[in-house]
């Protein structure tokens, strides 16, 4: 049986994909991240991240943090606003292009950029992912555990 090219292929190198790639790599899996944009790609986002999220990674994010707000203002149209004080500064702001690239670089995953995942085909004995001109094998169907992981990832 042909050896799989990768154990897992992650579509998208956003924060979600990069974090998934990191944890899957930590679990000993061979991971490919396929990103349809060129990296680093701009992401429209406030970039507000709770500190407990950062604490899930063994990295020093200090150089990526541009602000740590002391309050959040809720406002709409001309209505009176409400300020919620954040004395412990539990949220920080980052530039997503930098943050996502930082995580991806530390994931240990192989990266294919400027290529979109266009199809996932589950055959009799293999699962293949089409990314641009490439057709990559991720699972041989004799390994039920990997198929289980694959389905979870596709679902979420
Ligand atoms: C205006 C705005 C402000 C926001 N502010 C905040 C905030 O302050 N804090 C917060 O936590 N969240 C915020 N969000 C939400 C946050 O941006 C998203 O929840 C987050 O980006 C999701 O991360 P992700 O990695 O799942 O997806 P994304 O960051 O969107 O990454 C998905 C990646 O997949 C790639 N892709 C898509 N299809 C394919 C394909 N077929 N093949 C290969 N690659 C593909 C895309 O190019 C993209 O790079 C905001 C969102 C918006 C729109």
pLDDT of 128 over the 90 cut: no
Q: How far apart, in whole angstroms, are the C-alpha atoms of residue 127 and residue 72?
A: 46
Per DSSP (E only), the strands in the chain are 8-11, 31-35, 48-50, 65-67, 71-74, 82-85, 91-94, 110-113, 117-122, 126-131, 134-140
Pocket test for ligand 1, best of 21, 43, 69 (most atoms within 8 A of CB): 43
Does pLDDT of 4 surpass 80?
no
Instruction: Please tell me if the CB atom of residue 14 comes closer than 6 angstroms to any atom of ligand 1.
Output: yes
Q: Which of 46, 102, 109 to mutate to test the pocket of ligand 1 (most atoms within 8 A of CB)?
A: 46
pLDDT digit string, tens, across residues 74-125: 999 999 999 999 999 999 999 999 999 999 999 999 999 999 999 988 877 7
**pLDDT tens per residue across span 35-53:** 999 999 999 999 999 999 9
Instruction: Say if residue 139's pLDDT is above 70.
Output: no
pTM: 0.88
Dihedral of the CA atoms 131, 148, 16, 87 (nearest 10)?
180
> Which residue owns the Cα nearest ligand 1 atom 30?
14
Q: Is 36 in the pocket of ligand 1 (CB under 6 A)?
A: yes
Distance 14 CA to ligand 1 centre (A): 6
């Amino acid at each position: 049986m042909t050896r799989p090219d990768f154990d897992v292929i992650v579509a998208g190198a956003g924060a979600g994909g990069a974090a998934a790639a990191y944890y899957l790599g930590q679990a000993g899996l061979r991971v490919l991240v396929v990103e349809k944009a060129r990296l680093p790609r701009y992401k429209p986002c406030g970039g507000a991240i709770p500190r407990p999220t950062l604490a899930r990674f063994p990295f020093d994010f200090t150089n990526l943090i541009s602000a740590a707000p002391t309050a959040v203002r809720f406002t709409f149209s001309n209505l009176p606003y409400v300020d919620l004080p954040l004395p412990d500064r539990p949220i920080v702001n980052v530039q997503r292009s930098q943050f996502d690239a930082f995580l991806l670089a530390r994931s240990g995953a192989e990266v294919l950029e400027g290529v979109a995942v266009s199809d996932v085909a589950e055959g009799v004995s293999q699962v293949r992912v089409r990314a641009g001109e490439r057709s990559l094998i991720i699972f041989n169907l004799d390994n039920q555990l990997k198929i289980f992981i694959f389905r979870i990832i596709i679902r979420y």
